[in-house]
Amino acid sequence: MALASSTYDGSSGMPTHVAIIMDGNGRWAKARGLPRIEGHRKGVEAVRTATKTCMDLGVEYLTIYAFSAENWKRPLREVDDLMGLLRLYIRRELNELRRNGVQLRFIGDRSRLSNDIMKLLQEAETETAVNRRLIFTVAVNYGGRQEILEAVQGIARDAKDGALEPSDITEAVFERYLQSVDVPDPDLLIRTSGEQRLSNFLLWQSAYTELAFTSTLWPDFTRQCLEDAISDYQKRERRYGGTG
Ligand code: IPE
Ligand code: IPE
Ligand code: MG
């Protein structure tokens, strides 16, 4: 199937920004009698496929949910495994991503991450900062509510300092305090594994995002799955409250 990579026209073109809640790694592993880490490992391969597909199709922004602010509730062993995979992914992929013109960004609260991972994230961002082909944001220890609260705190500080009047706080001003600053709202948000919820992902940004839910588990999410989701998105009419 050929997907037209036309200029985004707000309705039927290629989505400018695709966001993905990668879910179902654990169930993928369980169905095979494997430990959950094996599902996460296979999930990393699906991430590689997704970034390549986005680059080929001309999607300009890809944001993936790698670890939520609530995922600390998981057994310590699994949290360690997930952090280990993040470390491994960046170490192994950074060179190729940089060569391919990918700009890496991370959103989420880094203060709870280990020092070496914090350093690695910083390094990956610095080394890819000039790239523009694909802006690839990875959400790590991210929560939409936490992001909004932080923005509110920043605004309150600036208002207290006299740098901002309450009446100046428009949507555009508010967005400057979010971590996703300079990234357009997602056009399409995909969640795999059959769950139909946002789980605290991009709450502000997804106000008018088109949502796509698929029962496919993340490790099984192929290039074709992404193309199908985009092709379905292209058939939709985005109305933003208007009459279309
Ligand atoms: C998604 O897969 C990966 C992360 C949340 C980090 P899960 O680990 O949530 O897999 P399920 O939902 O248990 O199958
Ligand atoms: C959402 O998946 C978080 C990530 C994909 C990183 P979860 O599996 O943690 O979400 P819930 O708990 O089912 O809502
Ligand atoms: Mg899950």
**pLDDT digit string, tens, across residues 47-102:** 999 999 999 999 999 999 999 999 999 999 999 999 999 999 999 999 999 999 99
Residue 102 · residue 51 · CB < 8 Å: yes
For 151-204, the pLDDT digits (tens) are 999 999 999 999 999 999 999 999 999 999 899 999 999 999 999 999 999 999
Give me the pLDDT at residue 10, please: 42
Counting atoms of ligand 2 from 1, which one is nearest the CA of 142?
A: 6
Between CA 139 and CA 179 the distance in angstroms is 10
**Residue 5 has which token pair?**
């990579």
Between CA 122 and CA 117 the distance in angstroms is 9
Counting atoms of ligand 2 from 1, which one is nearest the CA of 70?
A: 9
* C-alpha distances out from residue 205 to 21, 36, 47, 111, 159, Å: 14, 31, 22, 23, 23
In a mutational test of the pocket of ligand 1, which residue from 193, 196, 201, 215 has the highest number of ligand atoms less than 8 Å from its CB? 193
Q: Which amino acid residue places its CA nearest to atom 14 of ligand 2?
A: 199
Question: Among this protein's residues, is 100 annotated catalytic?
Answer: no
User: Any idea what the Cα angle at residue 23 is, between residues 19 and 27, rounded to 5°?
Assistant: 165
For 112-156, the pLDDT digits (tens) are 999 999 999 999 999 999 999 999 999 999 999 999 999 999 999
Between CA 123 and CA 104 the distance in angstroms is 10
Q: For the chain, percent helix, then strand, then coil, each to nearest 5?
A: 45, 15, 40
CA of 23 to the centre of ligand 3 (A): 5
Residue 101 · residue 129 · CB < 8 Å: no
Domains of the chain: 17-233 (3.40.1180.10)
Question: Among this protein's residues, is 23 annotated catalytic?
Answer: yes
Predicted confidence band of residue 244 (pLDDT cuts 50, 70, 90): confident
Closest CA to 218 of 17, 64, 79: 64
**Mean pLDDT for all residues in the chain:** 95
* 3-state class (DSSP) for residue 183: coil
Closest CA to 191 of 181, 199, 182, 180: 199
